[in-house]
Structure 1
Amino acid sequence: MSPSSESRAQAIYDLGRTAIFACKSDPRFHYCLYVPPIAGEGGKVDLLVAVHGTGRTSFLDFRDGFAEFGRWNNCAILCPVFPVGVRGDDARSGYKFMIEGDIRYDLLLLDMVAEVAAKYQQNWDMFAMFGFSGGGHFTHRFAILHPQKLWAASIGAPGSVTLLDPDKDWWVGIRNLQERFGIRFDREGLARIPMHMVVGDADLETWEITIAEGSTNWMPGANDAGRTRPERLSSLRRSFENAGVAVKFDLVPGISHDRMQVLDHVQNFLADILAIRRAG
């Protein structure tokens, strides 16, 4: 390919709304991005990781839904894709709990970030994260495990939550983090993260979030945080606030389980944090 052809291909596939790429460290997993034009000119931008829900298709909704935000706030958007049944078992929810067999989804995400940071010659040692539904599972658990990596986190309508309970094992609590992940809980690090939680006040269906005894992810206490998503997110808020985390909580009137209806709240939160961050 000639230099001019390569430059044209880069403009089409690597900038703006990008193609979908396989992760080099594990090609079973994929990602796409929105990359602001300034990054193609050597400009420095921040990074937001936006994590899909159980249906997975929301990764494209998030890439496109955050594109204008990314363009005008000089922020790249990385949208990972964690497929259903990657171990050949049709399991839908492994990524939500960070570990599935020999797969560590938190470390896989960090590999993706390192890969794109090198590609675009950016310093993304820290980034923001947003996730809705299954992505809300991922985001708050990633924050618990790796608070030093986040400059902001926005948690949208998770179906279940990990409370900061030192008397219960993962994933209901955090007693065995060291044994499970080789990580010691960093309360001070978590408290430094600007935290946003958002859920619709009409997001009340429970058929998908009530974990039945004997199912793959059931453990004692699985349903103790509340019956509905607003109740469970409120429990997470109290748990985080008791640990010193400052939480901005948006209970959105009239909204059910609709990811696109909460994006304005997420973008407003992130824009405010970016302004503070860039002011030093």
Structure 2
Amino acid sequence: MIRVADLPATHPGRRLLTKRSPFFAAPGEPRCSYCVYVPTSWTPDAELPVLVAVHGTGRSVGELREGFIPFAERHRLIVVIPLFPVGIDDPDDVDGYKLLDAHGIRFDLVLLDILEQVRFRWNARVGSVLLCGHSGGGQFAHRFLYLHPDRVAAVAVGAPGGVTLLDDSRAWPEGTGDTRQRFGVTVDPGAVARVPVLLVIGGDDDGRADLAAMGDHGHSRPEQLDRLAESLRRHGTAVEKVVVPGVGHSAAGTRPPVTAFFARLLSE
């Protein structure tokens, strides 16, 4: 695998591997892929930090990357966008990645392998990353935090339709009682509590009708976010919650609080 630092500055590969990259097959699971945005200030010895943004059910990865480019340029970081496609082993499965484990694929481990490749190719700092996701991406993000709190510097969770509570009396994905058997990891609420969390949702994003149409007649998205906030706070996590007035179920509409949250943490 080519390291960008090994290419001469005038090599066309430098242009291909900086700014908007092509999509790369994920190492170990080529049915998944990822792209990055590398800021124009990148240099071979920069060791830039990384922000991972996880898509929702619609997989709008192009818009997702574009939306974080100004932030990447302003704060000199690399944006990583994984793509977990629809239809792996089940042509109608749109949700498996949200639970981290489906069809024999550990999507959390796929992301960790992607980060290792990003580290090698761009000399990036991936030991602890900023992580965010909206809707289905928000489901992935908070569950990834539970299993890998040491790999996350801060998490922003936007409008998830389903949540996992820090509750050992419930099995995954409702709770964390069987994570040792399922993932080989016992969730440590104390380690989770060391990671600052932002919960964000649009003021007009009820979501009850959408969730009911998919067979979930339980909680609305605001209720799910409140359940997650209460569970995290009960175990000591510093949780911020932002409701964006006049915004529906929109990743772009709820992005400003996410970038403000991360910018503040980067400045500290």
The TM-score range, normalised by the shorter chain, is over 0.9
Residue 64 (str. 1) matches residue 66 (str. 2):
yes
Q: How does 1:214-233 map to 2 (within 5 A)?
A: 227-233=219-225
Specify the alignment match of 2:182 in structure 1.
Answer: 180
Cα drift, residue 262 of structure 1:
1.0
On the 8 A contact 2:55/2:136 being kept in 1, the answer is: yes
| C-alpha separation in 1, matches of 2:44 and 2:148 | 31
Q: How does 1:71-86 map to 2 (within 5 A)?
A: 71-86=73-88
Q: 1:272 to 1:223 in 2, by over 3 A?
A: farther
On the 8 A contact 2:34/2:83 being kept in 1, the answer is: yes
Residue 55 (str. 1) matches residue 58 (str. 2):
yes
Which residue, 228, 231, 240 being the options, matches 1:239? 231
Which residue, 9, 15, 31 being the options, matches 2:13? 9
| C-alpha separation in 2, matches of 1:115 and 1:44 | 14
Moved more, 200-209 or 13-22: 200-209
Specify the alignment match of 2:131 in structure 1.
Answer: 129
Specify the alignment match of 1:29 in structure 2.
Answer: 32
Q: 1:5 to 1:48 in 2, by over 3 A?
A: closer
| C-alpha separation in 2, matches of 1:139 and 1:5 | 36
On the 8 A contact 2:208/2:217 being kept in 1, the answer is: no
Q: 1:212 to 1:123 in 2, by over 3 A?
A: closer
Equivalent AA in structure 1 for residue 13 of structure 2: A
Specify the alignment match of 1:205 in structure 2.
Answer: 207
SS of residue paired to 2:81: strand
Specify the alignment match of 2:3 in structure 1.
Answer: none
Which residue, 12, 23, 28 being the options, matches 1:20? 23
| C-alpha separation in 1, matches of 2:122 and 2:105 | 26
Q: 1:211 to 1:187 in 2, by over 3 A?
A: farther
Equivalent AA in structure 1 for residue 35 of structure 2: C
Cα drift, residue 211 of structure 1:
8.2
| C-alpha separation in 1, matches of 2:189 and 2:70 | 34
Specify the alignment match of 1:107 in structure 2.
Answer: 109
Cα drift, residue 47 of structure 1:
0.4
On the 8 A contact 1:38/1:44 being kept in 2, the answer is: no
| C-alpha separation in 2, matches of 1:160 and 1:43 | 38
SS of residue paired to 1:38: coil
Q: TM-score, normalised by structure 2?
A: 0.93
Residues 193-242 of structure 1 deviation map (CA, whole Å, 9 limit, x = unaligned): 011010012101323324877xxxxxxxx765xx2111110110010000
Q: 1:185 to 1:150 in 2, by over 3 A?
A: same
Cα drift, residue 150 of structure 1:
0.3
Residues 62-87 of structure 1 deviation map (CA, whole Å, 9 limit, x = unaligned): 21111111111011100000000111
SS of residue paired to 2:126: coil
Q: How does 1:132-211 map to 2 (within 5 A)?
A: 132-210=134-212
Instruction: Give RMSD over aligned pairs.
Output: 1.8
SS of residue paired to 2:175: coil
On the 8 A contact 1:200/1:251 being kept in 2, the answer is: yes
Residue 264 (str. 1) matches residue 268 (str. 2):
no
Q: Which runs of 5+ in 2 are unaligned?
A: 1-6
Specify the alignment match of 1:45 in structure 2.
Answer: 48
| C-alpha separation in 1, matches of 2:105 and 2:220 | 29
Q: TM-score, normalised by structure 1?
A: 0.89
Cα drift, residue 6 of structure 1:
7.1
On the 8 A contact 2:166/2:189 being kept in 1, the answer is: no
Equivalent AA in structure 1 for residue 254 of structure 2: V
| C-alpha separation in 2, matches of 1:88 and 1:194 | 36
Specify the alignment match of 1:218 in structure 2.
Answer: none
Cα drift, residue 42 of structure 1:
2.4
